[in-house]
Amino acid sequence: MKIPVIGGGLAGSETAYFLAQHGLSVVLYDMKPKKFTPAHTSEKFGELVCSNSLKSDDVYGNACGLLKEEMRRLGSLTMQAAEASRVPAGGALAVDRELFASFITEKLKNHPNIEIVSEEIADMPPFGVVATGPLTSDLLGEAIVKRFGVLHFYDASAPVVSAESIDFSKTFTQDRYGRGEGDYVNCPMTKEEYEAFVDALLHAERAELHEFEKRDVFEGCMPVEVMAARGKDTLRFGPFKPVGLQFGGARPYAVLQLRKENAAGTSLNLVGCQTNLRFGEQRRVFSMIPALAHAEFERYGVMHRNTYLESPRCLNADFSSRDNPKLFFAGQITGVEGYVESAASGLICGYHVRRIALGMQPIVPPNTTVIGALSRYVAAPNKDFQPMNANYGVLAGGFEEVRDKKERKKLLAERALSDIERFKTQSLG
């Protein structure tokens, strides 16, 4: 029997690879290259759309950093690919998108236990995994809506510019608070330059403006123009904050940071500048930043709709369907938000599906681990269910007597890593 996995994004790739590595036969369905979603352009598996950053790599001080370490210990393909394709990004884990996707694609295509079928699937299998992401195709999407109903939100991606088109005489290289090795290019702005930029953002024409105003925007990936509309200093306390940076012996009024988009450093990502402005407006408005006056845009920012299940009503904590415990969902369609979280759900689904295939019951990781806490979050009763990133708030409590926050996070991380090792032994036993 071959276990069907539908979707070749991060979640589906994780599930397929884990099952194959543990001796099970898998057929991985993905409609590319015959058909693409509005946000995808590459034929490769594991394509990153919005950003090339997998967020903080701080295991003992950041929940997403801790989640990545849990995944490494569980045998994550995403973490292997990230290590093979990482680019300098201070305390964050950022990757070369092409190398990252190529690594995943090669692992899947060359695995003897994985059959790859380029085909659009119209319905859910009785046993298998649906990991079609927030941009599920129309045919399968209709079947999911009919059976479960769905929710949705909108998010956006940031522009990418050519490094050779940047005026580096108007930048400085420094990581916030001196962390990293000078991995960020900083574009300082004076008060007058910043206020003119914000004013231009507020008056720039947005794509499909009449529809955009009615959309539900995800807080974790908010367009820069929406943030600007919340107040003139919102960006200065957000992605343009100058805290931890020094230029000419003083803190700049505001700073746009650029991060390497590829290993060669020939392309740079405008950090925190997700946008839904029309392409011409993006070029006009971002070029108001002195260092970007002559910037050449290699990719413009875009906005797209993300669909996800009302998971508390239809999923169990092992990501299986409540009406069929052999049908699993993984990735952003479940209501976990972010590259890492999506990949983690696919990885843990691999553990669960393996046990089902071998005639055993799934074991959900404890809520002292980030992946276990997120698993329980998507299944817990919640009338206002919203997508969730990795965070300490979903973890089980503990160490409240420790007043130092840094020390408390370290203790929570140590407990999580000990418990994830215990879970791995139990689940694979």
pLDDT at 251: 92
Same domain? For 364 and 397 the reply is: yes
d(CA 404, CA 412): 12
The one-digit pLDDT tens for each residue of the chain (429 residues) are: 899 999 999 999 999 999 999 999 999 999 888 776 666 667 899 998 877 889 999 999 999 999 999 999 999 999 999 999 999 888 899 999 999 999 999 999 999 999 999 999 999 999 999 999 877 888 898 899 899 987 777 767 889 898 989 999 999 999 887 776 778 999 999 999 999 999 999 999 987 633 433 445 555 668 899 999 999 999 999 999 999 998 888 999 999 999 988 777 888 999 999 998 999 999 999 999 999 999 999 888 877 777 889 999 999 999 999 999 999 999 999 989 889 999 999 999 999 999 999 999 999 999 999 999 999 999 998 877 878 889 888 888 889 899 898 999 999 999 999 999 999 999 998
Same domain? For 194 and 275 the reply is: yes
* Token digits of residue 297: 């845009």
Task: With beta carbons less than 8 A apart as the criterion, state whether 96 and 44 touch.
Answer: no
Q: What is the pTM of this model?
A: 0.75
Same domain? For 375 and 271 the reply is: no
Q: In sequence order, which residues have a C-beta less than 8 Å from that of residue 211 and are 6 or more positions away? A: none
Q: CA 23 from chain center: how many Å? A: 29
- Taking alpha carbons only, the member of 403, 425, 417, 338 closest to residue 372 is 417
* Token digits of residue 286: 């971002």
pLDDT at 386: 77
Same domain? For 37 and 138 the reply is: yes
Same domain? For 229 and 181 the reply is: yes
Same domain? For 136 and 72 the reply is: yes
pLDDT at 38: 63
Across the strands, what pairs with 186?
A: 172, 257
CATH number at residue 214: 2.40.30
Task: With beta carbons less than 8 A apart as the criterion, state whether 157 and 50 touch.
Answer: yes
pLDDT at 39: 61
pLDDT at 368: 97
Domain count, the chain: 2
CB-based burial of residue 203 (10 Å sphere; 0-12 exposed, 13-18 middle, 19+ buried)? exposed
Same domain? For 364 and 400 the reply is: yes
d(CA 33, CA 39): 13
Same domain? For 275 and 189 the reply is: yes
Q: Which long-range contacts (CB under 8 A, 24 or more apart) does 198-203 make?
A: 198/228, 198/232, 198/235, 200/284, 200/285, 200/288, 201/225, 201/228, 201/277, 201/285, 202/228, 202/229
pLDDT at 213: 38
What values do phi and psi take at 227, rounded to 5?
-60, -45
Same domain? For 180 and 144 the reply is: no
**CA–CA distances in Å: residue 288 to residues 71, 163, 187, 336, 376:** 41, 17, 11, 36, 46
Range of the domain at 123: 3-152+307-428
Same domain? For 146 and 7 the reply is: yes
Helix ranges restricted to H, 257-323: 279-286, 311-314
**CA–CA distances in Å: residue 324 to residues 103, 143, 170, 195:** 34, 15, 59, 55
Of 277, 301, 325, the residue that ends a domain is 301
Same domain? For 263 and 172 the reply is: yes
* Token digits of residue 258: 């650029």
CATH number at residue 409: 3.50.50.60
Same domain? For 61 and 170 the reply is: no
pLDDT at 355: 98
Of 253, 279, 301, the residue that ends a domain is 301
Of 261, 285, 301, the residue that ends a domain is 301
Task: With beta carbons less than 8 A apart as the criterion, state whether 126 and 106 touch.
Answer: no
